[in-house]
Structure 1
């Protein structure tokens, strides 16, 4: 049997996809794998923030098309790039290869976020990061900052920003964590749903056929986390255009879900922690989302800008 797999062409995407495929190969050594590099809209448009281009799905739409048209059999994504609703006929086969979900600071000049002087420029296009970083420091300037990891680091070296804030997971997968100056705790900057996780996507009709393939890749705790976080997004209809975050941790028989939501200005924010049973991750995600919706109603009644 031959399995054609799709991936974006960035250095990080290819690396983490090949790491995933190596696990699949060890599970079923008799299977032949064929790589297909697919360029997405998010790869092509790098001169404006994601929320101005069209939000979530920019890094997977073309790959999903390849799946639906049966030019590839499976796709490997960073889970955080996947919208809460997938194209009809496709499904999430498995999640795994969990890496550090935190955001981190990289700077040539400064060792910590606290040390950065007032008025300095922080490179990040993420509305989620901007809103939470502004809660820690109101005296910094945030600038649009897109591109793959190498591009962002080169921009930093060229002086386009005094520091940048990015996901730690990518740096660690590329074995470049020595560039990190400081890690933001989950309490300080809550990550987006799925950060640090890889996902395998396939056609819904093929899900049962590929179950034996994912035995050594799929993580039960990661899937529980995923179900809680993505239900939170589904209820709120969240994407790159809305400053929001959701991060779940599985501890024993409990899930701890930390969430963040802000209005378009990023100034009116809601930050919560909810705890629930591991058997009911969707219920926990929904509870957290409904509480934010209720808070938005109160804030709107009080004529705030939600």
Structure 2
């Protein structure tokens, strides 16, 4: 019987997500056992600086990918929104389980909605994507950085450090958090690429493991996430740029993708919407439409190009 080593960050959410995947895989086959190996990433070590200032996407995955490549672990479970558009040679996302709720949630003292917050109210988030969209909707609010795990962020809200904070609904649901909040609609807050989905990454050469992981792949989630990641890749997406996208299947069977790129202060927000049948083509087309609208100017102002991954 093969023991499969699963690399995981030590955060409560990362361990819960790894546990959910292991539970699903165990129900599909009794030919394997699983052992979790803790890995500390750069994003876990540096908590007092916003993600955009310490390297953007990849902060929570690079050390784990090194462990995959050197054979220390066999697979890892990532939040898809943390995954860079390009993966190292020899690694692949072999499985994407059913997506959780992709919305962002506003939690506030007094259970106020976004429109009900007082002018000047302090909203905590270190996500440039969230900050830009909040400021577009409510330019009279104040954004202040907030990092840490879900419990830490909620504690700072409850202690009065912030009037409101924004969390991912998926993380709250997986952790069993029942705090009352407002699911922000997509026209106000478009999610990060892949938000709510998990990425199970392993070595491309491990055919036995890939066959097992495929048993929990959710094809519809995988297809829509492919469209979003194609959009991200074309726009050179990283945490240094407020980029958002969400793709879903329409009633007529076509895929529908909404995309957005913004300046960090929310004063310039470009949006697009595309539909079609080929996920990668939809993502590229949506990105090209934003580039035609002037997305390249936003990227150049941030010192980035638009033709390769950051």
Q: TM-score normalized by structure 2?
A: 0.92
Describe how 1:162-201 pairs up with structure 2 within 5 A: 162-176=163-177, 178-201=178-201
**CA distance in structure 2 between the partners assigned to 1:212 and 1:297 by the alignment:** 40
Asked if 2 retains the 8 angstrom alpha-carbon contact of 1:84 and 1:230, the reply is yes
**CA distance in structure 1 between the partners assigned to 2:297 and 2:46 by the alignment:** 36
1:219–1:260: structure 2 CA closer, same or farther, 3 Å change rule?
same
> What corresponds to 2:215 in structure 1?
216
Asked if 2 retains the 8 angstrom alpha-carbon contact of 1:127 and 1:266, the reply is no
Describe how 1:230-269 pairs up with structure 2 within 5 A: 230-252=229-251, 253-269=253-269
1:299–1:15: structure 2 CA closer, same or farther, 3 Å change rule?
closer
Asked if 2 retains the 8 angstrom alpha-carbon contact of 1:63 and 1:75, the reply is yes
1:281–1:99: structure 2 CA closer, same or farther, 3 Å change rule?
same
Q: Kindly provide the CA deviation profile for residues 68-127 of structure 1, in whole angstroms up to 9, marking residues without a partner as x.
A: 110001111111111011122111111113110000111222421111100110001111
**CA distance in structure 1 between the partners assigned to 2:240 and 2:296 by the alignment:** 22
> What corresponds to 2:281 in structure 1?
283
Q: Kindly provide the CA deviation profile for residues 188-228 of structure 1, in whole angstroms up to 9, marking residues without a partner as x.
A: 1100101000111001112x322331243100001101110
**CA distance in structure 1 between the partners assigned to 2:84 and 2:266 by the alignment:** 21
Structure 2, unpaired ranges of 5+: 305-310
> What corresponds to 1:95 in structure 2?
96
Cα RMSD, aligned residues only? 1.8
Asked if 2 retains the 8 angstrom alpha-carbon contact of 1:104 and 1:180, the reply is no
Asked if 2 retains the 8 angstrom alpha-carbon contact of 1:105 and 1:180, the reply is no
Q: Kindly provide the CA deviation profile for residues 119-178 of structure 1, in whole angstroms up to 9, marking residues without a partner as x.
A: 1100011110111111211110000000011111111122111010111110011111x2
Asked if 1 retains the 8 angstrom alpha-carbon contact of 2:95 and 2:214, the reply is no
> What corresponds to 2:30 in structure 1?
29
1:51 offset after TM fit, Å?
0.2
1:47 offset after TM fit, Å?
0.6
1:297 offset after TM fit, Å?
6.9
Asked if 2 retains the 8 angstrom alpha-carbon contact of 1:90 and 1:204, the reply is yes
- Report how many residues are paired: 299
4+ long deviations beyond 3 Å: 297-300
1:180 offset after TM fit, Å?
3.0
Asked if 2 retains the 8 angstrom alpha-carbon contact of 1:224 and 1:250, the reply is no
1:163–1:89: structure 2 CA closer, same or farther, 3 Å change rule?
same
**CA distance in structure 1 between the partners assigned to 2:296 and 2:237 by the alignment:** 20
1:140–1:65: structure 2 CA closer, same or farther, 3 Å change rule?
same
Structure 1, unpaired ranges of 5+: none
State the SS of the aligned residue for 1:216. helix
